[in-house]
Structure 1
Amino acid sequence: MAQHLPTSTSTSTSTERTERALAAIEAAGDEGRRIFTRVYAEAALQAAQAADQRAASGISLGPLDGRIVSIKDLLDVAGEPTTAGSAVLRQAAPAQRDALVVQRLRAAGAVLIGKTNMTEFAFSGIGINPHYGTPGNAHDATRIPGGSSCGAGVSVVHGMAEIAIGTDTGGSIRIPAALAGIAGFKPTQARVPRTGALALSYTLDTIGPLAASVQDCAQADAVLAGQPWQALPARQLAGLRVGVPRGALLADADAPVLAAFEQALARLSGAGVRLVDMALDDWLLAPARLQQAGSLAAAEAAHIHRERLERAPEQLDPRVLARIRPGQDVAAAHYVGLLQARSRLQAELDAQLQDVDLLALPTLPILPPRIADLLADDAAFMRANALMLRNPSVFNFYDLPALSLPMGRMASAGGLPFGLMLVGQRQCDRQLLALAAALQALL
């Protein structure tokens, strides 16, 4: 399928862009139906026309007024069931009201074009869905798109949306953004309310945007957070201190990824950025070590889906079921201990990061596997899933804002994109976005 990022908003009306986006979805045929679980064609055109009328009158509801936005299939839209990529929820009761972030998007004038496909219940970094189909990677349709927001990134690259809203519990915004070659931002958890979003993990879930530019992510983030838009402060790169965590999160990486990472660091250094190698494995390995006897996400997912596990487990994706089931056996003492250890470790890592502005590392250590290979081999699926989630999930555990920044293509990997993950300090979301925008503008 051809790849076309959205047309500049300065050269066309919202109605024209919406018509092109709807045409792209329709022209994609079955692939369009794998990317979107619902398309709001009539409502989107009405919203776009209203945005154009406001623009003609000199009225703006904010930076997203007239922008085309897709939303992940776990966000409530009033009057329809929230299926969350699951067959068992097709007959669920319709949502009584829009999710709070959907309300904010509508109030900001966004044109909601449809709901994007996802891994069932958002519990995988791969993006495969046996119920609604699996979208192909935007740059090689035989490869995975990344999950769990698997339709989000490809909807942007294929010109079906200008901004996508996803969720991120262990990387589910940053993984598909990195594989699509666009930006994806996971905020500090408290920044964006999750009311009306089907939960995977109360402790770890976040809501954020994917878009071609950091600027679009920042504007969407302001709307999602319920804050008035203020231009990001201009940041100078010369003298910026970027920590490079040499160690475990670079292990088992594919050679093209490591080469692209070192090239990205060289470009940063050439722009005057001060790179600081850091030994952080004691903290970066702690989440995996502590959760060997049961993870926060599995324990909380087992509680959230307890009735479905009892009533119709055979209707779930077996690989999602295999990840939720262990959560049923997590002891209360272990769960409480995890939360206590997390709080202590967060304070410790915060202290380690005081002398740098950002951390930088590959969003993903491996190239996207081929869909057919993972469908044929459960063990290969689980290995790939663990590696896809490894780097991003660390920063959900520590509740640090993180962004995957597109850094060009890997020539030695057939032109697949490389995502550089930038990690900021807790609650310093706009500072991270400002620095990422400066890096994207320069590089």
Structure 2
Amino acid sequence: MPATMPHTLAEAAEALAAGCTTAEALTEAALAHIADPAGEGGRAFITVHGDVARATARAMDGLRAAGLAPSPWAGIPISIKDLYDEAGQQTRGGSVALSDIAPAAATAPSVARLQRAGFVVLGRTNMVEFAFSGLGVNPHFGTPRSPWDRATGRLPGGSSSGAAVATADGMGFAGLGSDTGGSCRIPAALCGIVGWKPTASRVPLTGTLPLSSTLDSLGPLARSVACCEVLDGIMAGEDPAPPQPLGPVAGLRLGVLQGYVCDGWDAGVTEAFERTLSRLSAAGARVEKLAVPELAEIPQANATGGFAASEAFAWHRGLIERARDRYDPRILARILRGGQMPAADYIALLRDRARIIAGFAARTAGFDAVVSPTCPLVPPAIAAVEDEAEYGRINLLLLRNTSVGNFLDRCAISLPCHRPGEAPVGFQLMGEHGGDARLFAVAAAVEAALAA
């Protein structure tokens, strides 16, 4: 965004309150970025609500002038992923297989809560078809490019690809995503912003297109930890109050995961992650290596198929019968594998998951967060995944570290930890099940230490 524009939700709210800008000006600036033919707007968005967004912004300016703004955030433009219901809009999940679906009759509660707070919805962002990949590739609506090395064309990460690119490029101050195996955190890492995955039960899934009922969660992608905290709180139905000041990183106990998440790192990831650990240690954090044998049991538990494929197949099988030829073949193949999982294996997976969650919780008790690189790779070239084998290999690598948090049903966040000019690298912090407020505090402290 231009240097004169606010960068975070807090800065935008302050500028609006002080009369330094208007909701209409913020919205027009975001819409101009989306419409720029030299930018990524045409690939980052599937649908743009230009007229409605302008009307909403003007209404929020009028309410603020009358002292009736519904929240400090009223008039700030954001985007939503194409799997959230909006009354009167089709919910296509980034797919043409649902091109003839009826418009939604009601808006998802998580979106409606943000609208009641006065946020301006700019439009619906692009995503991996039916959210079933960590790469960000979409053959139907195009693949938005990561902000890094646009000349080459790098993967944005998925599945919330459009939300990440839009937020990074100034097409709104944040984007709503979803996270089943890392779909908020992976694109945040590959686009150099912040991505949040709440404890799954925190934000209602009502009014969203499912991938896996067991693993799905809804969260924001934004430009700071505080931005994500504001949006998460409203989506969860809490009072939209500004975050409270948080303490320093000194004294925090951070467990650095070993083993399963440590293979195949790019050199840039290794350098940025180790540098981040050194900075946090120098700032007073207690950084300790943490071996958790249960990590290695997760791929073993998923070996018979996992939750995502089996639960996706249960939802998709009727649609596949009607519209098989309209699916991305790579997504279709992954969904069809779910139909091969016996019920006995699914029941065993539920049992194994409960055991692994309990074991992991016992070993990580006493740590303020456990940490790892969000992804072992810096953004790969889009051209690299045109090869079928590379598509599968890179997808599994990008999903590996983040999917741990979904399997364990913990909250997790990705913060950028690279230096300016370097390839983007995400630093992932994972908290306890239900420990969302505490993890926000820890992440804010880490963010402040890295900015010092």
TM range (shorter): over 0.9
CA drift at 1:372: 1.3
Give CA-to-partner distance per residue, 1:46-93, whole Å, 9 cap, x none: 111122222223333224321111000011111121110101111111
Q: Give the AA of the match of 1:171.
A: G
Which residue number in structure 2 is paired with residue 253 of structure 1?
Answer: 265
Q: Quick one: distance in 1 between partners of 2:56 and 2:267?
A: 46
Q: How far apart, CA to CA, are the structure 2 residues paired with 1:400 and 1:432?
A: 10
The more displaced of 309-318 and 425-434 is 309-318
Q: Do 2:268 and 2:423's aligned partners in 1 also have CA atoms closer than 8 Å?
A: no
- Of the three residues 409, 413, 420, the one matched with 1:403 is 413
Which of 274, 279, 298 is the matching residue for 1:262?
274
In the TM superposition, residue 366 of structure 1 has moved relative to its aligned partner by 1.0
SS in 2 for 1:305: helix
Q: 1:63 to 1:398 in 2, by over 3 A?
A: farther
Q: In the alignment, is the contact (CA less than 8 A) between 2:369 and 2:439 conserved in 1?
A: yes
1:250 Cα deviation (Å)? 1.2
Q: Distance in 2 between matches of 1:4 and 1:125?
A: 34
- Which residue of 235, 238, 243 corresponds with 2:250? 238
Distance 1:101 1:439 in 2: 28
State the TM-score, normalized to the length of structure 2: 0.94
Deviation at 1:391, TM superposition (A): 0.2
Asked if 1:370 is matched to 2:377, the reply is no
- C-alpha deviation, 1:409, in angstroms: 3.0
| Other structure's SS at 2:438 match | helix
Q: Deviations over 1:277-306 (max 9, x none)?
A: 1111x2112221111111110000000101
Of 165, 175, 188, which aligns to 1:164?
175
1:430 matched to 2:437? The reply is: yes
SS at match of 2:425: strand
Which of 432, 438, 449 matches 1:442? Answer: 449
Q: 1:33 to 1:6 in 2, by over 3 A?
A: farther
Q: Do residues 392 (structure 1) and 402 (structure 2) align?
A: yes
Q: Secondary structure at the match of 1:286?
A: helix
- What is aligned with 2:220? 209
Structure 2 unaligned regions, length at least 5: none
Q: 1:92 to 1:29 in 2, by over 3 A?
A: farther
Gaps of 5+ in 1: none
Query: What secondary structure is seen at the aligned counterpart in 1 of 2:175?
Result: strand
In 2: Cα distance, 1:302 partner to 1:257 partner: 35
What code does the residue aligned with 1:239 have? G
Shift of 1:30: 7.5
Determine helix, strand or coil for the equivalent of 1:179. Answer: helix
Letter in 2 for 1:207: L
Partner amino acid for 1:255? A
Instruction: Report SS of the residue matched to 1:382.
Output: helix
- Alignment partner for residue 162 of structure 2, among 151, 154, 174? 151
- Cα displacement (A) at 1:4: 10
Q: TM-score, normalised by structure 1?
A: 0.96
What's the % identity of the aligned pairs? Answer: 46
What does 1:51-90 correspond to in 2, within 5 Å?
Answer: 51-90=60-99
* Maintained 8 Å contact 2:117/2:240: no
Q: Distance in 2 between matches of 1:44 and 1:410?
A: 33
1:347 aligns with 2:354: no
Cα displacement (A) at 1:345 = 1.5
For the pair 1:134 / 2:134, whether they are aligned, the reply is: no
Q: Distance in 1 between matches of 2:183 and 2:237?
A: 22
Q: Secondary structure at the match of 2:287?
A: strand
| CA–CA distance in structure 2, aligned partners of residues 103 and 325 of structure 1 | 34
Deviation at 1:235, TM superposition (A): 2.3
| Number of equivalences | 438
CA contact (8 A) 1:73 1:84 kept: yes
Q: How does 1:314-325 map to 2 (within 5 A)?
A: 314-325=325-336
Instruction: Tell whether 2:210 aligns with 1:199.
Output: yes
Alignment correspondent of 1:274: 286
Answer whether contact 1:3 1:157 (CA < 8 A) is retained: no
Counterpart CA distance in 1 for 2:235 and 2:121 is: 14
Match of 1:407, as an amino acid?
A: C
1:283 aligns with 2:313: no
Contact 2:27 2:77 in 1 (8 A): yes
Q: Secondary structure at the match of 1:260?
A: helix
| Residue 427 of structure 2 corresponds to residue 420 of structure 1 | yes
